[in-house]
Chain A
Amino acid sequence: MFKGLVKWARIKSPWILHMNCGSCNGCDIEILAALIPRLDAERFGVLLKGSPRHADVLVCTGPVTKQMKERLKRVYDQMPEPKFVVVVGQCGSSGGIYQGAYGVEGGIDKVIPVNAYIPGCPPRPDAIADGLIKLLASIAKGGNP
């Protein structure tokens, strides 16, 4: 019963932490654009949080730069279980346009496990909201997404 309650709460109100790991800001402004009244991701309970300890979902953008690698790991470790990671944008998925640059690790999944990718450079806000909802749906179905 208790487990069911927790799961229900998690799906109804996923708190997200946004982390920029060296992106061009394009994806970051589109994430914010998904939260404003036009799309209003908040009606799905999505709330932007400032601390990793409050967050259920880590939303990452950008190819991981050499400087951010350790920091990304640390933030990920600070999040309480169960945690989910969503990557927004092409360069976070694979390195994208920055592939081969000396300061870039290439892809969030090289550093931490990722649950969902939202491709696009940058993806539209509707795509971002859709991606989040798909993630929630797969959590609702049970098991790992």
Chain B
Amino acid sequence: MGIVKLPIGPQHPALKEPENFTITLDGERVIDVDIRIGYTHRGIEKLMESRTYTQNLYLVERICGICSYAHVENFTQNVEEILGLQIPKRAEYIRTLFLELERLHSHFLWLGVAGHEIGFDTLFMYTWQDREVVQDLLEMISGNRVNYAMNAIGGVRRDVSEEHRKKVLEGMDYLEKRTEYYKEVAINEKTILARAENVGILKPKVALKLAAVGPTARASGIMVDIRKDDPYASYPDIPFDVITTNTNDVLGRVVVRVLEVFESIKIIRYLMGHLPDGEIITKAPRKVPEGESISHTEAPRGEDFHYLRSNGTEKPERYKVRTPTLANLPAVAEMLKETYLADVPIIVAAIDPCMGCMDRVLLLKKGKEKPGELIDGERLRRYGIKWYAERGWKA
């Protein structure tokens, strides 16, 4: 049979987000994949330069609605570092609580989506129903289900009361029981095994070479977890394990996430048991002095990296975000090779792709154009500012 090129997307039933995969097929076998991104690129980094730090708190949150809190946490950590602000211990604990609740909701969500991709919709309904427990807890404390608006620069905006504490612990008990069940399902259920075992192989060496992050890397036996490698918030205080498996396949990615849910529950129990007393916010000035800062956190999908450059005004001068999905995409292209067409959705879904936060602008060069010129960051920045100024855009 001849070689067929099959374009999928941008609007397609497999994923909820617009993305384009051009798959080269030999019969049923995938020979090559070409991933085209950029459909949801909105230009948030540039937009941030025209908003104040307080406004940006809410914009950063909406880089991605699923791991929204990881983004805000990064942003506030960056600003606080430049300000030299030490936030109260209690605020740190509450932030960590949210980081972990977010991981819970995201992992449940993913488990459901993975179930959906392999045609196991019952699992989808089950996990999403349990995810509502987490959503209710998030809503109870912050008032919102998705974009929590919890962080302020210098602390958090809402406190965790005694009643909240009890409800959170109750919720954890329930979720632990349910997760035991999912663990059973993931390891024993034939539907999952048949679709996930030995599918989408990513060897540890390749994973390292392609710089995979998060659960994708951990399922290939690589110990990376920013929470341990470069602890932030209150992770230095908390005992927990980094989960890895070495099956290198989609099943490994399922197992890593299910086991991580247990770790998150453990962390949340610890946090609720050791919540320190005191203030939840310190006062922060509106203007941020000149400086540079980077911050990274372990978002549910992997390392989320933010960079901030400030210039002494109320607005940032440059902001840069690198999200885990972008780091994992080269690995996806590798995983897809030599698999079957029917496995493509679950392999792509296995990295838990979140396109909203990772889309870039792409310039596709056609034919002969004059070769690009290599310039350093500083000159590029000046050129950018000039370019925008000429077109009447204000920073």
Question: What's the least CB distance linking A56 to chain B, in Å?
Answer: 16
**A20–B16 CA distance with the chains assembled, in angstroms:** 7
Chain A residue with the shortest CB-CB distance to B14: A50
Binds A, one of B127-135, B240-248, B275-283, B292-300: B127-135
The stretch among A5-13, A59-67, A108-116, A137-145 that forms the contact with chain B is A59-67
Provide the bound-state CA to CA distance between A40 and B261, in Å: 26
CB nearest neighbor in A for B13: A50
Are B65 and A20 neighbours in the complex by a CB distance under 8 Å?
no
User: Which A residue sits closest to B44, measured CB to CB?
Assistant: A101
* Distance (whole angstroms) from the CB of B257 to the closest CB of chain A: 17
Q: Are A23 and B47 in contact (CB under 8 A)?
A: no
Write out the residue numbers on chain B whose beta carbons fall within 8 Å of the beta carbon of A68: 10, 18, 39-40
B40 contact set on A, CB distance < 8 A: 20-23, 62, 65, 67-68
Answer yes or no: B43 CB below 8 A from chain A CBs.
Answer: yes
Of listed B65, B128, B354, residue having the most chain A CB within 10 A: B65
B42, B66, B125: most-surrounded residue (chain A CB, <10 A): B42
Question: B16 touching A18 by the CB < 8 A rule?
Answer: yes
Against A, the Cβ 8 Å flags (1 = close, 0 = not) of B181-225 are 000000000000000000000000000000000000000000000
Among B47, B50, B145, B354, the residue within 8 A (CB) of A30 is B145
Q: Which of A36, A75, A98 has the most CB of B within 10 A?
A: A36
Asked whether A104 and B43 contact (CB < 8 A) given A26-B62, A26-B147, A52-B11, the answer is yes
Residues on B with C-beta less than 8 A from A98 are 42, 44, 47, 62
A75 neighbours in B (Cβ, 8 Å): 11
Contact status of A97 and B59, CB under 8 A, knowing A65-B42, A67-B38, A68-B10 = yes
Partner of A122 from the list B17, B50, B63, B146 (CB cut-off 8 Å) is B146
- Chain A residues within an 8 Å CB radius of B131: 33
Residues in B129-180 with C-beta less than 8 Å from chain A: 129, 131-132, 135, 145-147
Q: Let me know if A24 and B63 touch, CB within 8 A.
A: yes
What is the interface size of chain A, counting residues whose CB is below 8 A from a CB of the partner? 40
From the candidates A22, A29, A49, name the one contacting B41 in the complex (CB within 8 A): A22
Q: Which of A64-95 contact B (CB under 8 A)?
A: 65, 67-68, 71, 75, 91
A97 with B62: in contact, given A22-B39, A32-B128, A104-B42 (CB under 8 Å)? yes
Question: Which residues of chain A are within 8 angstroms of B38 by Cβ–Cβ distance?
Answer: 67
Asked if A37 is at the interface (CB within 8 A of a chain B CB), the reply is yes
**B43 adjacent to A25 (CB under 8 Å):** no
Q: In the complex the two chains form, what is the Cα distance from A68 to B146 in whole Å?
A: 24
Known contacts A22-B39, A30-B145; is A36 also within 8 Å of B128 by CB? yes
- Closest beta carbon of chain B to A53's beta carbon, Å: 12
Query: 13 A-B contacts, Cβ less than 8 Å apart?
Result: A19-B18, A22-B41, A22-B42, A24-B357, A25-B17, A49-B13, A67-B38, A68-B39, A71-B11, A97-B59, A98-B44, A101-B43, A121-B62
